[in-house]
Structure 1
Amino acid sequence: MFNLIRKYLALTALLALSATQTLRAQTPASYVNPFIGASTSTADAGVYHGLGKTFPGAATPYGMVQLSPNTITGGDNGSGYSYEHTSIEGFAFTQMSGIGWYGDLGNFLVMPTVGPLRTKAGTIAHPEGGYRSMYAKPSEKASAGYYSVLLTDNNIKAEATAAPHSGMLRFTFPKNKLSRIQIDLARRVGGTSTLQYVKVVDAYTIQGWMKCTPDGGGWGNGDGHADYTVYFYAKFSKPLKDYGVWSADIPDGWVRKREEVGSDKYQDVVANAAILKNIKEKQGKHLGFYTNFATTENERVLMKAGISFVSTAGAKNNLLAEIKDWNFEALRQKATALWNIALSKIAVQGGTLEQKKVFYTALYHTMIDPRIISDVDGNYPGGDGKAHKSAVFKKRTIFSGWDVFRSQMPLQTIINPSLVNDLVNSMVTLADQKQKNYFERWELLNAYSGCMLGNPMTSVLADAYAKGIRNYDLDKAYNLAVGSVEKFGNGEKGYAPGGIGIAQTLEYAYNEWCVGQLATWLKHPADAKKYLARGQSYKNIFDKDKGWFRPREDEGEWKAWPDSGRMTQWYGTFETNPYQQGWFVPQDVDGMVALMGGKQKVLADLDNLFAKTPDNMMWNDYYNHANEPVHHVPFLYNRLGRPWLTQKWTREICRRAYKNSVEGLVGNEDVGQMSAWYVLAASGLHPVTPGDTRQEITSPVFDKVTLKLDPKYAKGKAFSIIAKNNSASNIYIQSAKLNGKTYNKCYIDYAEIAAGGTLELTMGAEPNKSWGINQHI
């Protein structure tokens, strides 16, 4: 009987494995390629902004933990990883994705080593003498929720997988009497943590924390004001018998930002850190922990850890709730299952294998942030430095506002409205806790970083409210929106003076329009009149003599017009030229067109913008898809009565700017924005004006796209977009039906999407210039 049971169980396991493998080949997660965009290389990008700046490591949807290889600590390498680097310095439990400033996080850096203990990482140029290792590039594998690589210096295979608040590393060692797992507690992307603490809890467990302040560089090399503490609770599969702490004696008064931390002087002190054997508890300015052990050939040694931004008790609770054993493969399967659930919110049919990989990797990248920083028990770090708890929402962080209000947050209103609700709650309560009367424009772990410009949270709030996402304190949210545009806005002058006055004035005018919309809906008529009028302030910086927008000085006089005119980078703009930035009047396209000289003149100018864009769509002076201010521009053709040109150019951008390769993103991923643009455009939809429920219709990449709706926020179960006769040449919409009825508009209202149903498009090789024409311009 016993043998029969064993055979039955073995057969059941075999069948389950076979079914899993078959299923895996067809699941959304199987298409994900985390290496897309995983480069910070300025050489390949041809500009200092670099490429995608994503990371390839293991994560879960919007999880607190991203367990990823790190190849670099300093420089403009926000993800801590770049594909072309030839060595790895360790595996960190926290990462940023696709940011274009000096990065942060990269905390709790774990590295397997053998032989003598080295206490500094070493550098890419000079790895010798450090604990970093060269690795075999062909061995590097990444998928949704999993990463592995062979570290060739000591022939150690490293594997990583993750849960939302915790992660597990599995190291396969060679035979060696002195193998090791070491953890650099001071390490932080773009600088260093400034104070650390570690304690040995029992024969298998350590706990502690790393305090990261602006004095230690990090976000914007300290200019982003990031100030947070990462707590950890870690367990090892082999007992702690020969262990210890290294402690570098960093002199008082030393500057500890990224350049200083990377200097030879600083690294010499780290390299000569005191090694304190069998010490059970230590606090210091630059600590690491190690555990030595003997290994047999191909012996697997594992480490798992929970993290928290609240407490060590929170980190322990997170780990014990999520990873109860040492079953690495089971944890990996759970991570993949979480991705399959999340990615199944959009199902695509048709398209090539490459297009599906690009699509689902893009969707994957939109599901990194804004991440949760609530512990499993609901506790989260507040803006007042205290722990708070909420059963109403999950605390979210990393809100790259200026980037993500354009595509990323509008995408989430359709497929993940609860996340948008969480974000509004997170930002409202943050302002409350910090006793601020305005929204933060770029939030990182409760920091008011002030990064970029405008008041993007007003856009997210207006868009959420317009779409029925309203489970937050409306009065507080509205007052914060008003406070934001009053503190940062065009004000009584009617424009923003100074060096980036075009960008600021245009962004502020849109934000003030958003507040005007909110005021109208919430029945504040005086405010509505005031802010809708301010939404017209973009007109105050249009120079009729030059025929374009132009920055003004404090007293109203024009700034000198440069020889290259509106093609001049940074002339009144931020990371753009006026030709690119000047199209940002989403709240009043008709008024913008009239100001610019009428429909025909504007169409000719748009045609020129696209015609002169380089084939590879890398950073350029025309349609620069690598940067966000132009992301709505292809959809302006819909507003100008040329919808077939929206169809043409969105298909071109999808084809030319997104590839299944490391260099597959033409610019920074920017915390989900670059990928969200693709997801929406490839699905056949995209807004011009968040805060207005109109969604532009364009040419889908796929034959069928089905958006799964949330029954808590939408009446329907799903909304499908079908493209009949769709192909690489049949990119033009010939006719359309909505729920079986002829449909002649090139746009659709969000309410019609939320109601569920089907938009059926018939495609062809030549434009149908009578379909979808808007007559209002």
Structure 2
Amino acid sequence: MKKWTRQLCLTSVIVLSFSLAIAQEKEPADYVNPFIGASTNVKSAGNYAGLGKTFPGAATPFGMTQVSPNTITGGDNGSGYSYEHTSIEGFALTQMSGVGWYGDLGNFLVMPGTGAVVTYPGKEGKPGGYRATYDKTSEKASAGYYTVTLSDTHIQTELTATPHCGFMRFSFPQNQQSRIQIDLARRVGGTSTRQYIKVVDDHTIEGWMKCTPAGGGWGNGDGHADYTVYFHASFSKPLKDYGVWSANIPAGWSRKRDDVLSEKYQDTVAHARILKGIQEQEGDHLGFYTSFATNEKEAVLLKTGISFVSIADAKQNLEAEIKDWNFDKVHQRAHNLWNTALSKVRISGGSEDEKVTFYTALYHTMIDPRSFQDVNGNYMGGDGKPHKADGFTKRTIFSGWDVFRSQMPLQTIINPRMVNDMVNSMVTLAEENGTHYFDRWEMMNAYSGCMVGNPVVSMVTDAFAKGIRNYDAMKAYQFSKNTVEKYGNGEKGFSGPPHSISNTLEYAYSDWCVSQLAIGVAAQLAEGKERVDSNVLIPLANDYIKYNKRSQAYKQVFDTAHHWFRPRKDDGSWEPWPAEGRMKEWYGTVECNPYQQGWFVPHDIPGMIKLMGGEEKVREDLTSFFAHTPENLLWNDYYNHANEPVHHVPFLFNRLGAPWLTQQWTRDICRRAYHNAVEGLVGNEDVGQMSAWYVLAAMGIHPICPGSTEYEITSPVFNKIVIQLDGKYAKGKTFTIIAKDNSPQNIYIQDIRLNGKGQQKINTSRDGNPAELRDKYQIDYKDIIAGGTLELQMGSKPKEDTAYLKFRI
């Protein structure tokens, strides 16, 4: 009997332990740390690129709203927040992630308080204004939630979000004059230039905030951001003692970032008229307040729907997404949305910190491009008129020069519908605004022209090549062609000052993209059921020849005398060669030096290798490039992971007969450039690009040339990665990557098997040289979406392969 009793007890303990283990098992969303990268600290970064420039507030996957604390405006602080700041200006409903250039959004700034109304924000580190110091130990954030307690007033603030709404809960102390106020003029990097507010009933306000280039914002107005945020907001506590403040801004005053932050401007706002009990007001600098008595820890809630189309749509968004006052239910819903989105990739192995780093990176890749349409499908078009999306979700904020490299190729695997949406969004925008071409950096219908190249053309070509084609392909092609004709090397064959190298190389690549798109569209038409007129196919074939030839323009800025790329003047003569040589930053390049930019010939690596002097010479040069990179990988003149031009470079070793160096360096970069810390990114997040690089590299795959369907194989950080595939675009349900015997020491791939079949060989012969077979370190997109398993046998030393031994460095 005792024996059975002991066995029963032992069984109970095992069952209980197993149950507890299941209960404590973390879901992907539980690993998200929104504070990673939430710093604009230029001093720590050693460069204006900062260390992430993300925001820690609440959002939903690709949602319109981002409900977040704001500590600063303007400068290179595009997120509106930096962790080291000691005071909070307020809590806004819209933010940008990981950008500089003065930033934008940060609209509808809400601040709880007590005592008399204060109408100006004040400055970080100085007394005065409605901004408040906060208890850093109380500040917490997770996927879909943020909370902090303000030190002076002891008010706890909690934030959560739905795709189109923000929900705020403020727990007040006992006070006869508690208050919630809303600065309608607030905008990161400037100010909204006109506002309107109306008290609808004793719980509701609505209105709009117009943000034009005259008010600064994106690029201090140079980005041409011009949008209106409409809102419909409800308070849980009745509006009894309320009013509007209105600052008298003289008509001739400039209202860009530096002007708005000036003492003169702030003093004017500080002396704004307070119009008590007014129910409707339009003006140049407005705010709203409501005051009330509160008991100890009394919760007062504010829920707000926004729209970029109309007040009516903002109201409809709110009514659809937050029907009651259950804050916790909305918070849980936001968490669940993130968990579903992040569960598209399941990882095993790695440390807890690496899992946090991975899922936070994946989280950051799903903030933009955000939804730009309301629940009814309405969106504001490029013609300034409302439109209704037909069969796709209208999206905005395309950080082109950054995200075409890793972010969009990642999404073609895990979120192909979003990629399809983005192509549709760019095509409809180019049609609505009448330009019929794609610009580089789109934000809220604005063509900012930020950075260089033609990144939308890359995105369209990559999507089309991968079978993501639910859009008008001929329009997408024609607009791509128009783009490279407007912004390109043209018949001259190169670009001149001021960014001769960067432009020539990037335009050569986008010409290649158009050539691939031309032949791809032609093939699709030829395969169709209906007979295609040769008058359509022949021009496409001719375009393929024309733009493929133009893709060789990179050779026109290679100086054989100095054995590297060199900028040309408009007349074709060379710019003077500087004392620093190819190490000189901004020498014909953008945000980099020629040494860094020169590796960007992704569409013709064999041609680039030949131009540079052959495989051995290039391999030695590239090895030196990495060897001189500082341990911390912060901004530097060599492999500068803090900036995008070099993001494909570690994978070039796969094409240079030294795949173990790709494996070594990608593992090193994952370890050295990404951390579970506030300053955990070595540069700008850049709207998902920096994080997308990590997600792909940590999974063991990454493209060199978007527009091609090949991904390079490298050493995964994790032992097992299971990717959920989208049945609309993929034949398989999941694609699994397994790294056997993987560890921080076993970083080298010994064997590759795809669905049980051994490693393929590639023939590297060219130009009449003898054939040489090497192991293939690439996998095609079609093999990924077909489903199956990629098995990698890992070891502590590079693979002993005779085809590579002579290249061992």
TM-score between both structures, scaled by the size of structure 2: 0.93
Q: Is the 8 A contact 1:108 1:185 kept in 2?
A: yes
Task: Map residues 575-654 of structure 1 onto 2, 5 A cutoff.
Answer: 575-654=591-670
Q: Does 2:46 match 1:30?
A: no
**Does the 8 Å CA contact 1:350/1:703 hold for their aligned counterparts?**
yes
Do the aligned partners of 1:111 and 1:183 also contact (CA within 8 Å) in 2? yes
- 1:304-703 matches, within 5 Å, as 304-523=303-522, 524-703=540-719
The equivalent residue for 1:101 is 101
Following superposition, the deviation at residue 525 of structure 1 comes to: 1.0
Q: Which SS does the other structure have where 1:592 is aligned? A: helix
**Structure 1 residue 369, shift from structure 2 partner:** 0.2
Q: Is the 8 A contact 2:699 2:716 kept in 1?
A: yes
Structure-2 change in CA distance of 1:19 and 1:59 (3 Å): farther
Match of 1:766 in 2: 797
Q: Deviations over 1:26-56 (max 9, x none)?
A: 1100000000000001011011221100000
**2:111: which partner in 1?**
111
Whether the aligned pair in 2 keeps the contact of 1:736 and 1:743 (CA below 8 Å) is yes
CA contact (8 A) 1:173 1:296 kept: yes
Which amino acid counterpart does residue 597 of structure 1 have in structure 2? G
Contact 1:642 1:769 in 2 (8 A): no
Q: Which amino acid aligns with 1:392?
A: G
Aligned-residue offset at 1:499: 1.9
CA 769–441 in structure 1, closer or farther in 2 if over 3 Å, else same: farther
1:587 partner SS: coil
* Pairwise CA distance, 1:773: 6.5
CA distance in 2, matches of 1:648, 1:51: 24
TM-score, structure 1 normalization: 0.96
Percent of residue pairs bearing the same amino acid type:
67
- Name the structure 1 match of 2:778: 747
Specify the alignment match of 2:15 in structure 1.
Answer: none
Aligned alpha-carbon RMSD (Å)? 1.5
Cα deviation 1:443-464 (Å, max 9, x = unaligned): 0000011111100011101100
Contact 1:641 1:774 in 2 (8 A): no
Partner of 1:172: 171
Q: How does 1:54-133 map to 2 (within 5 A)?
A: 54-126=54-126, 128-133=127-132
Q: Is the Cα contact below 8 Å between 2:59 and 2:67 reproduced in 1?
A: yes
How far is the alpha carbon of 1:732 from its aligned partner?
0.2
1:179 CA drift (Å): 0.2
Distance (whole Å) between structure 1 residues aligned to residue 803 and residue 484 of structure 2: 36
Equivalent positions of 1:147-226 (< 5 A) are 147-226=146-225
Counterpart AA for 1:767: P
The AA in structure 2 aligned to 1:760 is E
- Deviation, 1:74, is 2.6
Amino acid of the structure 1 residue aligned with 2:717: V
| Cα distance per residue 1:338-362 (max 9 Å; x no partner) | 0000000100001100000000000
Q: Residues of 2 paired with 1:104 and 1:48: CA distance?
A: 17
Q: Is the 8 A contact 1:746 1:773 kept in 2?
A: no
Deviation track 1:403-460 (CA, whole Å, cap 9, x = no partner) reads 0000000000000000010000000000110001210210000001111110001110
3-state SS of the aligned residue for 2:603?
helix
The aligned residue for residue 10 of structure 2 is none
Which secondary structure state, in structure 2, belongs to the residue aligned with residue 536 of structure 1?
helix
Q: Which amino acid aligns with 2:783?
A: E
Aligned partners of 1:245 and 1:290 also within 8 Å: yes
Aligned-partner Cα distance in 2 for 1:110–1:545: 61
- TM-fit CA distance, 1:24: 7.3
Could you report, residue by residue, the CA deviation over 1:270-319 in whole angstroms, capped at 9, with x for unpaired residues? 00000000100000000000000000111111100000000001100001
Give the deviation of 1:620 after TM superposition: 0.3
Measure the CA separation in 1 of the matches of 2:485 and 2:727. Answer: 37
Could you tell me which runs of 5 or more consecutive residues in structure 1 were left unpaired when the two chains were aligned.
1-17
Distance 2:521 2:320 in 1: 42
Unaligned runs of 5+ in 2: 1-17, 523-539, 761-775
Give the superposition deviation at 1:743. 1.8
- Per-residue deviation, 1:492: 1.0
* Cα distance in structure 1, aligned partners of 2:235 and 2:755: 57
- 8 Å Cα contact 2:86/2:125 also seen in 1: no
- Contact 1:170 / 1:303 at 8 angstroms: preserved in 2? yes
Shift of 1:772: 9.2
Q: Which moved more, 1:297-306 or 1:20-29?
A: 20-29
Distance 1:738 1:694 in 2: 15
Residue 251 (structure 2) pairs with residue 252 (structure 1): yes
Classify the secondary structure of the residue corresponding to 2:604.
helix
* Distance of 1:81 and 1:772 partners within structure 2: 52
Structure 1's 774 and 59: CA in aligned 2 closer, same or farther, altered over 3 A?
farther
Partner of 2:275: 276
Indicate conservation of the 8 Å contact 2:87/2:125, yes or no.
Answer: no
Contact 1:194 1:211 in 2 (8 A): yes
Aligned counterparts of 1:570 and 1:618: Cα–Cα separation in 2: 18
Partner of 2:239: 240
Paired letter, 1:40 = T
CA offset at residue 770 of structure 1? 2.0
Matched AA of 1:595? L
Q: Distance in 1 between matches of 2:482 and 2:102?
A: 29
Residue identity matched to 1:237: S
In 1, distance between residues paired with 2:603 and 2:48?
32
Q: In structure 2, give the amino acid aligned to 1:621.
A: D
8 Å Cα contact 1:190/1:219 also seen in 2: yes
Structure 2 distance, partners of 1:630, 1:172, is 48
The one-letter code of the counterpart of 1:714 is A
Give the secondary structure class of the aligned counterpart of 2:482. helix
What amino acid is aligned across from residue 98 of structure 1 in structure 2?
G
Equivalent residue of 1:140, what SS?
A: strand
* Contact 1:644–1:769 (8 Å) recurs in 2: no
Give 1:774 deviation, angstroms. Answer: 13
> Does the CA contact (< 8 Å) of 1:735 and 1:771 recur in 2?
no
Letter of the structure 2 residue corresponding to residue 172 of structure 1: S
